[in-house]
Amino acid sequence: MNYLKSSYAYWDIIYLLPKRSRGYIKRCSAFTACITLSACASFSQDGGFAVVQQTATDKLHKNVQWIKSDVDRQQVNDRNKELLAQALTVDAAVQLALLNNKGLQASFDTLGIAESDLVQAGRMSNPGFSFSRLRRGDEVEFDRGISFNIARLIAMPLTSKMERHRFEQTQRQVMMEMLIMAAETRKAYFIAVAAEESVRYLQQVKRSAEAGAELAKRMKAAGNFNSLQEARELSFYSDAALNLARADQARIRSRERLIRLLGIDQFSEENTGVTSFKLPERLPDLPDVLTLTDVKTESDEEATVINKLVVQRLDVQAAKLNTQQLAESLGLNKVTRFINVLELGGVRNTSNQQATQHGYEVRLELPLFDWGTARTAKAEALYMQAVNQANQTALEARSEIREAYANYRASYDIARHYRDEVVPLKKRISQENQLRYNGMFISVFDLLADARSQITSVNSAIDALKDFWLAQADLEMSMTGKPSMISSQSTVISVSGSAAEH
């Protein structure tokens, strides 16, 4: 909104009052006006935070708190303790982040700053007084003066409105940041849990390889293996150790990222009242049915459903408001037609008189104006720029929702396939291999190789499950704002599966 600000210049004029003047107050009729005006712009009870809190309740089903006092801090600390008493759930993680993330608190502070700007804009600034005493020989000259911002006085109705807009933008900004932060926490949580799970499995792989290596050494010592056979088993072991180290590295990174989002420094008990958090052993199970199925991508309703979601998005709403405010500030009022920014570039000629209520929910219509009344080409350019930006925002939103939904469906199918097909099959293979070991058809080394391969498939299943939960977080986010859509760093590791090819 830079151009908004730059459109208005602020300047102070200092009125010098006549010397030895006494009645300056009376002469300043404008001053009274300013006192009257200032009464309409005072600090709100909640500093504009209630809307943010409402959003947290509506969209996240969580509480959010703007910590301003020791009492607030104590309340948060108590809640922290409660939340951290058991292994962390994803909801607890989001709640913790909402309460403790310092970046979020900082953005609440922006809200405070924006509000004070708003209040400031609605107030006449305090008049400045000056007094000077000059001596010229025995002549003493008193010079009293009063100064105040007259331009501000003139511009006050306009700037107040602008600051109101700016404040609302800030509110939206803060809400967006909060939602994004919640989504990121969600994702970071799943990544961290999956990473811990992976480490445990890779420890098992390592143990299996270790057993194989130890056995191979003994085989060599007994003269049953040659150096080549021994070296092969040892190399499985060294690979396994490497994979474990990598997984542990990923675990530490994911945990630290979660710590940053939660705003809980496990080494600073003072701040949070807690020392650490404990992650659960496993990711939540794959749901039996998909819950977020509002988005239908195959039917004719697709556009309708997606558009409905698009108009709910905060970024889209912001873009729309932006054009409205811009139109206002540019003094545009004579609407000639409407353009639906959801219909890629398609201009709809809609008369001003016609009801635009019809299907409004799923349309995002912006007015076009009679440029003849606009004074400058710059105004038109500015406005069209905003319209195009709104168009782009809406287009991206649609695409993001579609992508997020497709990703959600696909990752569900993949995770389910792992759960219902891949892992049970691997398990069956292992059972059959056990029977073959019993019958002396395969060796213990084959059995160990199979165990490694089974664990790898379980690990891939965990990865797929994690991808599903990430996709769900992205889909949820895509319905309120821009999703990050960054899939986690894959923790799938390759484990050389078979020692059978001796």
Angle between helices 314-329 and 302-312 (to 10 degrees): 70
- Quick count: other Cβ atoms within 10 Å of Cβ 312? 15
- Closest approach of other proteins to the CB of residue 225, in Å: 7
Closer Cβ to other proteins, 378 or 502, answer by number: 502
Residue nearer to other proteins on the CB measure, 378 or 428 = 428
- For other proteins, the closer of residues 371 and 437 by Cβ is 437
- Compare residues 210 and 328 and give the one whose CB is closer to other proteins: 210
Q: How far is the CB of 493 from other proteins (least distance, A)?
A: 17
CA distance 286 to 267: 34
Q: How far is the CB of 207 from other proteins (least distance, A)?
A: 6
For the bound state, the minimum distance from the C-beta of residue 110 to other proteins, rounded and expressed in Å, comes to: 54
Name the residue nearer to other proteins (CB basis): 445 or 468: 445
Q: E strands along 365-493, which residues?
A: 365-369
Q: Check if the beta carbon of residue 495 is closer than 8 Å to that of residue 239.
A: yes
Query: Dihedral of CA 306/312/315/317: which sign?
Result: positive
164 vs 207, beta carbon nearer other proteins: 207
Footprint on this chain of other proteins (rule: CB under 8 A): 204, 207-208, 210-211, 214-215, 218-219, 221-225, 229, 430, 432, 434-445, 447-448, 451, 502
Q: What burial letters (b/e) apply to 160-173, b meaning 16+ CB within 10 Å?
A: bbbbbbbbbbbbbb
C-alpha span between 252 and 256 (Å, rounded): 6
The least CB distance from residue 59 to other proteins, in Å, is 45
Question: How many Cα neighbours within 13 Å face the side chain of 106?
Answer: 6
What is the layout of strands, in order, in the sheet containing 365-369? Answer: 347-348, 335-340, 365-369
Minimum CB distance to other proteins, residue 245 (Å):
20
Smallest distance, Å, CB 437 to other proteins?
A: 7
Q: Which of 448, 457, 493, 499 is nearest to 208 (CA)?
A: 448
Q: Using CA atoms, how far apart are residues 492 and 431, in angstroms rounded to an integer?
A: 24
Q: What is the DSSP letter of 294?
A: -
Task: Give the nearer residue to other proteins in terms of CB position, either 226 or 238.
Answer: 226
Q: Extract the tokens encoding 201.
A: 């499995």
The Cα 161–Cα 149 span in angstroms is 18
Smallest gap from Cβ 441 to other proteins, in A, equals 4
Select 295 or 451, whichever has its Cβ closest to other proteins.
451
Between 25 and 444, whose beta carbon lies closer to other proteins?
A: 444
Three-class DSSP labels, 67-112: CCCHHHHHHHHHHHHHHHCCCCCHHHHHHHHHHHCHHHHHHHHHHH
**Closest distance to other proteins from the beta carbon of 199 (Å):** 16
